Amino acid sequence: MNEKIAAEAAAVVPAQASGLPPGFHEMVDDLKSIVRGAHVRAQLKVNTEMIRMYWEIGRTILEKQGEERWGTKVIDRVATELRTEFPGQRGFSSRNIRYMQQFARTWSERIGQQLVAQLPWGHIIALMSQCATRAEQEFYARRAIEHGWSRSVLDLQIKQRLHEREGAALNNFTLTVPDESDVLLEITRDPYLFDFTGLGGNASERSLEDALVARMVLFLTELGTGFAFVGRQYPLRVGNSDFRLDLLFYHVRLHRFVIIELKTGRAEPEHYGKLNFYLAVADDLVRNRELDGPTIGLLVAANRDGEVARYALERSGSPMAVATWTGLDREAQESLPAADDLARVADAVLRDYRTTGLPDYGTS
């Protein structure tokens, strides 16, 4: 009896020995999934009710302060009374009650209809503490819900001012893919923050590429949700000529390949033309026309001329965008090893990857 047959027999024996009908264990697995789903829904409901309670506490105190002109010291007494009445319930510190007031003041409408009602309390505090305007709060609340951000990821995205960078890359999406232009805008940023590479603007393109690949998890985080890494220096054979794409990704939500070409200098007209050529070839040789949308091109350069970009993008028949990238400033860069040293480290890492296999980076 070979190993496969033995394994199958071992899986069947317990059910037969106990007199259980065929399919019993599969049914139990389904029941477990139902119970787990109910637990998740219950936890979400508990969170929603807690958020509503915090909002009502904050609103009630605000109303009384407005009517009776209570001073701020009343908050400390309120906190003491609530902790005494509900000793097993956390969240009734003076500081937290002041956050409840701010919460009710910021979202004065009924909270049950607001996006933030779907977020954990820690996320809401981050929005109130770190966002300057209501528009910023709504932006990050929506993104946190859509992408399931943890508190630490939310803090990072606010710190890096994602609301100013998302969709800021110059592009031709309204001309080439008008029905999807709004969705495609969400997957571009300008500038991209590559400070995690340890490189400044004087790095070579190969050093930048090496550093990004060696730190792929951080690179995927900066690109945004949905990107899956396919390969670097991805080969394309056209006629008797060989070409290589700097970086190739696949966006799992949009079902599109994304070609990223890196430039450590200014984006020049010939760079747009070359990327447009790559897009045409990739659409023909790489993508599955039945499953994938047209390939997207992203030119990421140290700087760009807006007028040059406008002419280049308007005449391209493929969806393209151009963005800039920033690394460390000069003072920070001088405290780090030279770019050549970092490139040698990246080469060593990549040699190890080729020996042991690339890790499963998945998607960001």
pLDDT tens digit sequence for 77-89 = 999 999 999 988 8
Look at the chain and report how many structural domains it folds into.
2
Do 182 and 327 belong together in one domain?
yes
Do 341 and 315 belong together in one domain?
yes
- pLDDT on residue 333: 42
Do 288 and 196 belong together in one domain?
yes
Residue 332 lies in a domain: yes
Residue 64 lies in a domain: yes
User: Of 118, 144, 161, which marks where a domain is finished?
Assistant: 161
Residue 231 lies in a domain: yes
Do 222 and 324 belong together in one domain?
yes
User: Of 141, 161, 181, which marks where a domain is finished?
Assistant: 161
Do 198 and 136 belong together in one domain?
no
Look at residue 119 and tell me whether its pLDDT is greater than 50: yes
CA–CA distance, 147 with 220 (Å, rounded to integer): 14
CA–CA distance, 318 with 273 (Å, rounded to integer): 11
When pLDDT is cut at 50, 70 and 90, the band that residue 42 belongs to is confident
pLDDT in tens, 180-228: 998 899 889 999 998 888 887 678 899 999 999 888 888 888 898 899 9
Do 71 and 99 belong together in one domain?
yes
- pLDDT on residue 186: 87
CA–CA distance, 203 with 339 (Å, rounded to integer): 6
Q: What percent of the chain has pLDDT over 70?
A: 83
Q: If 0-12 CB within 10 Å is exposed, 13-18 middle and 19+ buried, where does residue 196 land?
A: middle
Do 223 and 106 belong together in one domain?
no
- pLDDT on residue 347: 52
Do 109 and 244 belong together in one domain?
no
pLDDT in tens, 332-341: 344 434 444 4
Do 42 and 106 belong together in one domain?
yes
Task: Detail the DSSP E strand segments found in the chain.
Answer: 170-171, 192-193, 227-238, 241-251, 256-262, 296-301, 320-326
User: Of 132, 161, 190, which marks where a domain is finished?
Assistant: 161
Domain containing residue 149: 33-161
pLDDT in tens, 142-177: 999 988 888 998 999 999 999 999 999 999 999 999
Do 223 and 299 belong together in one domain?
yes
- In 224-329, which residue ranges form alpha helices assigned H by DSSP? 269-285, 306-314
CA–CA distance, 235 with 187 (Å, rounded to integer): 24
Average pLDDT score over the chain = 83
- pLDDT on residue 44: 67
Look at residue 358 and tell me whether its pLDDT is greater than 90: no
Name the least confident of 111-120, 252-261, 308-317.
111-120
When pLDDT is cut at 50, 70 and 90, the band that residue 310 belongs to is very high
Residue 362 lies in a domain: no
**237 Cβ partners below 8 Å, 6+ apart?**
243, 285
When pLDDT is cut at 50, 70 and 90, the band that residue 364 belongs to is very low
Do 107 and 187 belong together in one domain?
no
196 or 265: which leads in pLDDT: 265
CA–CA distance, 274 with 259 (Å, rounded to integer): 12
Contact in structure between 225 and 147 (CB atoms under 8 Å)? yes
- pLDDT on residue 327: 76
Do 174 and 279 belong together in one domain?
yes
